[in-house]
Structure 1
Amino acid sequence: MTDRTAHARVHMAASVLLSYPDERLAEALPLLNAVVAELGPGEPARRLAAFLGHVATTPPADLAEHYVATFDLKRRCCPYLTYYTYGDTRRRGMALLRFQQAYRAAGFDVTGELPDHLGVVCELSGRGATEQAVRLLREHRAGIETLLRALREEGSPYAEVVAAVLATLPPPTERERQAALRLAEEGPPAEEVGLDPYGPNAPSLGGRR
């Protein structure tokens, strides 16, 4: 299995696991476990296996409650990547358009969710556009690392899924390291002006359903 194929499988598994944990997750568990087992040794597989172990031993109602409490109610655990760079500013709307254009160029349509959701970007990779997805992930690596830090501080098992995604990326460049440090120190911009440039009916922040 090539690295690209392995990374695409890690990303597809992460996409499913970053969705709201309803009956579809329960139905997908056998396939997810098989995919992770086929990945062999390595950090991404180990991280995903840890989360799958948590899912296997946690009642579905508790999984759903934790998902909502983490991703819907804690802004610091926001799964929308452009939020970390632009906050709720008009510049974020333009960044969302860039994500949408990248998906369209890859022949991938996003419906019912903002295109910068980490799970949606991972799905793009899992469906074959791994190069485009990895480029988006690297451009927003500082946000992903900030999300991972927040999940770990909250003691959330979802940190394992985000860590698995990060483990598929090349080592950070100096520029990426500096961006992560700045974001950790300053946080996202706080201007509250909505997402008008993206469209009047853009979904608000909240968990992926």
Structure 2
Amino acid sequence: METNRIQKPLLLTSYLFEYPSKEWWEGVPDHAAAAEEIERPQSREVFEEFFGYVKESDPQAFEDAYVRAFDFSQNTNLYLTTHNRTDFGKQSEEMLRYKQLFLDAGYDLDRELPDYLPALLELAAAVPEQEAQHILSEVRPKLELLRDRLIEAKLPYAFLLDVVLTEAAGLEGRTAS
């Protein structure tokens, strides 16, 4: 299978957007070490700074902030079809489109909804670059909206979406040629 050069940044971003469970905290050192291997210097720096922030954080305070940011906020939750939710028919169509992205790549979700950001990032990391570019272009408007809302909320996770959007733009340049 063709390798996916943005696999590591996508997987690290997915990891950092996951709930900070006990197992998550145990994985921080290994994931922080993997961040040092990121090719793009700007992306590597974002991960190194974010992991530095994580390591300096009190686990309970970090978890509380995570819950406030993603579980209790409609504006910044990680389910992409809930943003700008005024038309439930449109939301259902989007959900089906996201589900189709997984099915087209040969995956099916049994524990998560297909619009869950970490799952979409993992999917894009698991497929060849051409398919990753398609997936990321499908979700780009939602990623940009979430990024803007994270900036408004002054949450450091916005920088992680900058990495995804930058890596996706770089991928578009490579697959277009």
Q: TM-score, normalised by structure 2?
A: 0.84
> 1:37 corresponds to which residue?
36
The amino acid of 1:112's aligned partner reads R
The amino acid of 1:27's aligned partner reads E
Residues 1:164 and 2:163 aligned together:
yes
Residues 1:105 and 2:104 aligned together:
yes
Residues 77 and 151 in structure 1, CA contact (< 8 A), matched pair in contact too: yes
Residues 1:117 and 2:100 aligned together:
no
1:88 deviation in Å? 5.1
> 1:25 corresponds to which residue?
24
> 1:13 corresponds to which residue?
12
1:168 deviation in Å? 0.8
> 2:125 corresponds to which residue?
126
Unaligned runs of 5+ in 1: 174-209
- Cα 1:73/1:129, change in 2 over 3 Å: farther
Deviations, residues 128-173 of structure 1 (Å, cap 9, x unaligned) = 35543432321232221121111122121212222211111117x9
RMSD of Structure 2 on Structure 1 (CA): 2.3
- SS at structure 2 position matched to 1:110: coil
CA distance in 2: counterparts of 1:141 and 1:53, whole angstroms: 27
CA distance in 2: counterparts of 1:39 and 1:28, whole angstroms: 17
- Cα 1:93/1:7, change in 2 over 3 Å: same
> 1:93 corresponds to which residue?
92
1:61 deviation in Å? 0.7
> 1:54 corresponds to which residue?
53
Question: Aligned pair count?
Answer: 170
**Range 126-135 or range 9-18, more displaced:** 126-135
CA distance in 1: counterparts of 2:78 and 2:129, whole angstroms: 19
> 1:142 corresponds to which residue?
141
Q: TM-score, normalised by structure 1?
A: 0.72
Residues 18 and 119 in structure 1, CA contact (< 8 A), matched pair in contact too: yes
**Range 23-32 or range 125-134, more displaced:** 125-134
CA distance in 1: counterparts of 2:138 and 2:62, whole angstroms: 30
**Range 86-95 or range 42-51, more displaced:** 86-95
The amino acid of 1:58's aligned partner reads S
- Cα 1:129/1:78, change in 2 over 3 Å: farther
CA distance in 1: counterparts of 2:42 and 2:17, whole angstroms: 18
CA distance in 1: counterparts of 2:45 and 2:134, whole angstroms: 24
The amino acid of 1:166's aligned partner reads L
Higher relative contact order (CA 8 A, sep 6+): 1
